Chains A and B, each alone.
Chain A
Amino acid sequence: DSGVTQTPKHLITATGQRVTLRCSPRSGDLSVYWYQQSLDQGLQFLIHYYNGEERAKGNILERFSAQQFPDLHSELNLSSLELGDSALYFCASSVWQDTQYFGPGTRLTVL
C-alpha cells in the first residue's frame, strides 16, 4: 500500500458525460501528479500540482482540468468524454522532486 488513495476504482459512463476522479496523497506529500495509461499511448504525464498551485502541464486535453485543495487532495475533472478517453488514470504524490508513489488507479470506461 503506497498510502495514496484514489476513488472510485472503476467508473463506467457514456460519451459526452463529465466525471470527477479523486486522489488523496500520502501524509506529508505536497505534490500531486496525474497520469493516464492507455494501450496506445502508454503512461503519459497529465499535470502536477504543488501545495495547491499548478506546476506543470503535460499532454492534457482542454476538456480535462484538475485542482488541488487546501487539504492537499486533488480532483481530475474529465468532460465531454469520448471513447478514446477510456484509460487507467493514476494519481501519484511525492515530497517535491522526490520519488512518486502511485495510487491504485481509476479505470474509466466510456461507452
Chain B
Amino acid sequence: AQKVTQAQTEISVVEKEDVTLDCVYETRDTTYYLFWYKQPPSGELVFLIRRNSFDEQNEISGRYSWNFQKSTSSFNFTITASQVVDSAVYFCALLHGSSNTGKLIFGQGTTLQVKP
C-alpha cells in the first residue's frame, strides 16, 4: 500500500511556540521522494522541501527543520518560534521513484493556527 498519514488534523499554538507536524508514510519501494507543501489561506500550494529515500540527513532552513527517519517511516516537520504567518494547511506527500507516473500521494493535511 502507498499511503501518507498526517494524524494531526488541526494544531493551535501561540506565537513563538515550537510546533511539530507529523507525517508517516507507507511504501514498498526502495526509491521514493518525500515532500512538504504549505497551503496558506490564499489557497496556493507552496513547495517547502524534497527529500529522497537515500538521504536521511536532517535539514534546517531558517525556522523550519525536517526529521526523516526510515526506521519509523516518518518525515516530521518542525517550526521553531512559530509566527502568525505560519498559519496554513501543511501537506506531506510521497512520490515513488519507480512508478514513472509522477503521481504525488498526499496526506490529508494538518491545519496549523498560530495565535498572536
Chain A interface (Cβ within 8 Å of chain B)?
2, 31, 33, 35, 42-43, 45, 48, 50, 55-56, 58, 88, 90, 92, 94, 96-97, 99-105, 107
29 contacts between A and B (CB under 8 A): A2-B44, A2-B46, A33-B104, A35-B104, A42-B108, A42-B109, A43-B91, A45-B103, A48-B102, A48-B103, A55-B100, A55-B101, A56-B102, A58-B101, A58-B103, A92-B45, A97-B97, A97-B100, A99-B47, A99-B50, A100-B47, A102-B44, A102-B45, A102-B46, A102-B47, A104-B44, A105-B43, A105-B44, A107-B43
CB-CB under 8 A for A31 and B102, given A42-B109, A97-B97: yes
In addition to A42-B109, A99-B35, 14 A-B residue pairs with Cβ atoms within 8 Å of each other are A33-B104, A42-B107, A43-B91, A43-B106, A43-B109, A45-B104, A48-B101, A48-B102, A55-B101, A56-B99, A99-B47, A99-B50, A102-B45, A104-B44
Tell me which of B37, B97, B100, B105 contacts A102 (CB under 8 A).
Answer: B37
Identity of the chain B residue whose Cβ is nearest the Cβ of A105 in the assembled complex = B43
Q: Is the C-beta of B95 less than 8 angstroms from some C-beta in chain A?
A: yes
In the complex, chain B residues whose CB is within 8 Å of the CB of A88: 43
Interface size on B (CB < 8 Å)? Answer: 24
Residues from 80 to 116 in B contacting A, C-beta threshold 8 Å: 91, 93, 95, 97, 99-109
